[in-house]
Structure 1
Amino acid sequence: MNELEQLRRAMRATEGPYHDDLDLTAIMRDGRRLRRRRRFVGAGATALVTVLVAGGVGLGVRWVRPPAPDRPPVGGVVAPTGASPATPPESAPTGVSPATPPESDPQRRPVGDVVEAGIWYGVDQRVYYVVAVDLPKVPGVRIGLMAGRRTPAGDLTDDIVVNDVRGSDRRPGFHEIGYDDATPSAARPPVPTFGYFVGPVTRIVGTVDGRQVDARLAPWSTDPELVIFWFDPADLAPGVRLDGIVARDRTGRLL
């Protein structure tokens, strides 16, 4: 049985008798178009069901089209191919241990007056003086405190310098304290513990092994608010760490 006969039988079963003047050729053409549309719609519906089932999508869930290969997903960032994770910013060090300046370093010129400590090594005297420092990453720190020696002719020898490594070198309170960790030698005698305080201080007291030790004080000639202090080695052996340290003003109030 050909398609024309099938179409005629179906029309007779559902629509009743036809007029003799029906255009059977046109009817057959329209039937082919209808069958093609039905096949197309059926295939599309099947594909949609397959996507929903395969993706596990239920009622009320929205399907999102995957991003194009050259675009990052919404709400995220895609690193360029071959890029390494960003290096965390460097944390600032908590302090600087005093170190003996290398012999190749040029002599640091004092800023302001040189303070005499009254401690002698033969004919040389222990002295303290402020020097300029350069810390590009810490613009608020421009000075450090040097422990050196001076000859009778006035020549200076640098021994240990200490300086802040964060913030400002003029913030109120204690700054870095210099301890001598080197083994005494004929080339360099031991350096007494020293440092500086910013504020109206008139007395500094250190504590070690349960006893109190007073420091000697001298204001900096360039800024009297900056007070240089050091401990006599007869009271505090060089290199011995303090258990605590306090500063008081002229009324005895803690600073």
Structure 2
Amino acid sequence: MTDELDRLRAALQEAPAEPFKEPDLDRIFREGGRIRRRRRFLTSSGAAVAVVAVVFGAVWLRSPGGAPEQVHAAASPPPVVTRVSSTIPAPAPTTAQAKPKPLGEVISTGTYADGAELVFYATEIDDPDTPPNAQFGVMASLYEPDGNLRPLYLANDSDGMDRSFGFHATSGGTIVSDIWVPVYGYFSGPAARIETTVDGHTVPAHTARWSEDPDVVVFWFDQDDVPSAERATPLVAYSADGKRLTE
């Protein structure tokens, strides 16, 4: 018994075969800073944009007396979007149509999932806490073959003026009900071209003017080009004559 205790004491007093590596304090502080950093969507001028994004589940649209309908994306990646700036007429209201309703025409993107097209439209914000000058947002939705709209994601400013000059409600870059919602937002002003820079490459946005106010330009990016809203900085807008509208 004494011999075993002596061997145990000797083993505990031995130095480890490999000394412990000193902690990398610089890396630890960097990682901690990234975790604590608040996510912000920035305009090109560096000012923070307050954005409220609402994700709509499948329960939003129901057939009378039935279970929620489902629309699932194909297993393969979303197809490449053709550069378009077109609109399609807003569908007539039906008993199964989702709320809120479009303000003006629905903006076509040319991206489809199981026969349903991803579209955008402006809509009123029905929230008593929303400031009087921030009363609309931009909805990402699926336009289904039967004419119904299935809302997926709503982005709008939570304060300020919804039509003040500049970029607003840049959000998206996420999957909702198996559907990819691209990075999108809108610009208030005479923008003819909108672009960003990702990994040193200039990426142009798809654009379409809001039928109710042509000075409001809805924009969105392809998934492969801009996979998240945080990558869409800085955003830059240009006028028809090539003049830069933002700093």
TM range (shorter): 0.5 to 0.7
TM-score (norm 2): 0.60
- Tell me the alpha carbon deviations over residues 139-166 of structure 1, each in whole angstroms, 9 at most, x when there is no partner: 1111010011111111111111011111
Unaligned runs of 5+ in 2: 1-47, 61-97
Overall identity of the aligned pairs, in % = 34
Residue identity opposite 1:129 in structure 2: Y
Asked if residue 151 in structure 1 is aligned to residue 144 in structure 2, the reply is: yes
Contact 2:140 2:154 in 1 (8 A): yes
Report what 1:132 is aligned to.
Answer: 124
1:243 and 1:178 mapped to 2: Cα distance?
Answer: 12
Structure 1 residues 96 and 221, CA gap change in structure 2 (3 angstroms): same
2:233 and 2:200 mapped to 1: Cα distance?
Answer: 8
Report what 2:212 is aligned to.
Answer: 222
2:186 counterpart (178, 196, 200): 196
2:149 and 2:178 mapped to 1: Cα distance?
Answer: 13
Structure 1 residues 134 and 203, CA gap change in structure 2 (3 angstroms): same
| Larger helix share, 1 or 2 | 1
| Larger strand share, 1 or 2 | 2
Aligned-pair Cα RMSD in Å:
2.1
Aligned residues: 160
Farther off after superposition, 163-172 or 227-236: 227-236
| 1:108 Cα deviation from its structure 2 partner | 1.3
1:114 counterpart (106, 121, 143): 106
Structure 1 residues 238 and 120, CA gap change in structure 2 (3 angstroms): farther
Task: Give the structure, 1 or 2, with the largest relative contact order (CA under 8 Å, sep 6 or more).
Answer: 2
Larger radius of gyration: 1
Residue identity opposite 1:235 in structure 2: D
Report what 1:210 is aligned to.
Answer: 200
TM-score (norm 1): 0.58
